[in-house]
Chain A
């Protein structure tokens, strides 16, 4: 049996530090919103001329007076991802860019993807994204509140907040882009983290009924150990699937799978070291669940 409970304090301090750091970055550095939430234009280009490189393309785009422009390689050497803010909200911006490129590079570009999001739509998408995550958290809260005693609910929700905040914090620190698919990833993380926590809590409650003489500090450790191989196997298979998406699923799914990978790791960690320590700190005992059962 592994003594997870020996490190409860140390990992709680680490988590507090992680959350504080994440919040610091989220507040002062902010998130790198993609065009879904910031508005603007995204173009994915494939060039047929191998001599064209990022810097020559960047120079060209900077001349076009499009506001803030970013030009990056996208996957292989001939693919480029260009983003600009389209500050004047010009109507025929794509046509203009196309003509401009054709005149300086010849017809050597294929427009593989074009996304154009107006300021009104991006504001709405951001709002509905925030609402979606909030609704998810509230629904999980209600669910866990129906299923368990309030001490358990608090633990699960704290673990959930920890996972969401730290994942977003990591995106802020690494300046990774937040777009619609990241919102989907965060929501799936919420589901996954909850799932993981609930399985351990289920066992804690079962053991609370079984043993009246074991203190919660020991009891959580027993429960974690009993469910440990399940926790690990499920995390591993999920990570295997996600890693396969990350490495082979193409550039578009990279951000999504990366967010999910972070989320699964944090979710597994928080189920053990946040959800359970809350039970310990609230001194949950057999009485806690028996009271509920009598009602």
Chain B
């Protein structure tokens, strides 16, 4: 156990210096690309916002089933099957058909080549399930169909969320999928997430629809409120143009009225439809509806064929900017709810770093003093090892560009406290060996050998705990598990290579010395 070849000594020295150099790169700015790595600070240390968004897929499901109703009605009409008693409730579409047609309808639904019910061969499942309950046929999403729907709306929502956040221009946002109906947003350095929260909270579903009275409209009408929540208007369900037709939107100042407006330009289809609607609808009111609320309903005075126009609605510059941003980035497929929010201000982050560093320094000092008093010269060796260990730990965290959190700093301090354990186990064992063995070298050698299983056991149990935390924990807690886990490896390395090397060097010079370790 005690022999070190020259090659090995060189290797250990090089490896340690390499990591120590890496650790120091956190303090300086190196020009070199490779050394220009730094430990990332978690949101709790640098300040920032963590938002967990959940997609509310219910409106999407309702909408899709609504569309399915139309499709089914037309599809079966061609086959001379009439659907009766159509009803949509609890995300289930139910209808009845004549008894002789029932089997045929079910067969069409269960056919693998079905036109109306896509089959996923990979999952051996259709998009929809159909069941016959007391002669009422009930269609609902299958498990796989539901998953496909969620994944697709998650993909779309992620894209829109990314666009909206990019538009605001925060630095290095982190936008990730979680499960199949959640999106995680991390915004470092952001201390007031209110604006982003309000932007993400809007679906931004924009439609232009005529104001009309009940009797004359074939599409039906609905009563919608204005944004002020008081005035109401009857609005046709027919959509003239929607947000999908927008190419661009910008906040502008109207020079004549001195009012802030949002100007927009339309794609070709949109421009054509807008032109037609404005030419046939002169004198009528065109309502601009956002997320079910009327922004304004101006009277059409002229045909607008240019494919551009403007929205006014008593905006401030801020609200016009936000609306333009929402319109540019597009509508979310479904509403998003913020189900978890954690925001740390930059001041608190800095305070936490300061407190963490002070605690680390004091903890480190206390441990070093205690160990030195306890073991004297070998305490010194342990302490040198401990310092190297700490630098190695920081070096490893740096090379992986790991994220350091406040609990992560606690993990480092705890590592300092527990790292001496391995050396203590070895030294205590050596003390026992020295009682019966006069030759220092032999006693040290068997001390190292006999303490090995206990050291391995001790570290494996801590490693198991760290692993569980890593896989089950989130955010700050994950940071703790990383430092604790990495700390175990750097501890073992520094104890078995560095401390042992130093011990060997000392003991081989003092082979005969009595009471070498007390």
Which residues from chain A sit less than 8 Å from chain B, CB to CB? 44, 46, 91-92, 94-95, 110-118, 120-121, 128-129, 131-132, 135-136, 139-140, 143, 147, 180-181, 183-184, 187-188, 190-192, 194-195, 198-199, 202-203, 226-227, 229-230, 233-234, 236-245, 247-250, 252-253, 256-257, 260
Contact = CB atoms under 8 A, between A and B. Distances in A.
A248 B345 contact: no
Interface in B294-338: 337-338
Contacts of B462: 188, 191-192, 195
A183 B340 contact: no
Contacts of B230: none
10 contacts: A91-B338, A114-B341, A116-B340, A132-B473, A226-B432, A233-B420, A237-B417, A238-B418, A249-B358, A250-B351
A199 B457 contact: yes
B338 A143 contact: no
A124 B407 CA distance: 21
A203 B192 CA distance: 57
Given A234-B421, A240-B363, A250-B351, 9 more contacts: A111-B343, A121-B339, A135-B472, A140-B461, A184-B469, A188-B484, A191-B462, A242-B414, A243-B363
Nearest to A191: B465
B342 interface: yes
Contacts, number: 203
A181 B476 contact: yes
B460 interface: yes
B359 A230 contact: no
Nearest to B458: A195
Contacts of B407: 181, 184, 253, 256
A277 to B, nearest CB: 21
Contact of A132 (B194, B424, B469): B469
Contact of A95 (B52, B194, B454): B194
Contacts of B417: 237-242
Contacts of B458: 195, 198-199
Majority DSSP secondary structure for residues of A touching B: helix
Contacts of A199: 425, 454, 457-458
Contacts of A243: 363, 366
B199 to A, nearest CB: 13
Interface in B405-420: 406-407, 409-410, 413-414, 416-418, 420
B341 A116 contact: yes
Which of A128, A239, A241: most chain B CB closer than 10 A? Answer: A241
A252 B420 contact: no
B468 A256 contact: no
B201 A91 contact: yes
| 6 nearest A-B pairs in the assembled complex, by CB-CB distance | A241-B417, A191-B465, A244-B363, A250-B355, A118-B339, A249-B359
Nearest to B426: A230
Interface string B35-65: 0000000001000000010100000000000
A112 B345 CA distance: 5
A205 B224 CA distance: 80
Contact of A187 (B362, B406, B414, B469): B469
B477 A181 contact: yes
Contact of B374 (A95, A187, A233, A248): A233
Which of B358, B371, B409, B424: most chain A CB closer than 10 A? Answer: B424
Contact of B355 (A95, A143, A240, A249): A249
A244 B348 contact: no
B428 interface: yes
A114 B197 CA distance: 13
Given A116-B340, A132-B472, A132-B473, A241 B414 contact: yes
A284 B370 CA distance: 37
A202 B340 CA distance: 46
Interface in B364-389: 366-367, 370-371, 374
Contact of B363 (A112, A230, A233, A245): A245
A22 B366 CA distance: 33
A231 to B, nearest CB: 9
Contacts of A230: 421, 424-425, 428
A198 B468 contact: no
B453 interface: yes
A112 B414 contact: no
B420 A253 contact: no
Contacts of A245: 359, 363, 410, 413-414
B29 to A, nearest CB: 28
Contacts of B414: 188, 238, 241-242, 245, 260
A207 to B, nearest CB: 12
Interface string B191-216: 01010001001000000000000000
A242 B367 CA distance: 11
A241 to B, nearest CB: 3
A259 B459 CA distance: 21
B406 A253 contact: yes
A226 to B, nearest CB: 7
B55 to A, nearest CB: 13
Contact of B339 (A44, A112, A120): A120
A82 B343 CA distance: 14
B356 A113 contact: no
Given A180-B473, A230-B424, A198 B342 contact: no
B362 A139 contact: no
Given A131-B472, A198-B457, A256-B410, A244 B341 contact: no
A91 B494 CA distance: 52
A191 B406 contact: no
B458 to A, nearest CB: 4
B331 to A, nearest CB: 19
A143 B461 contact: yes
Contacts of B472: 128-129, 131-132, 135
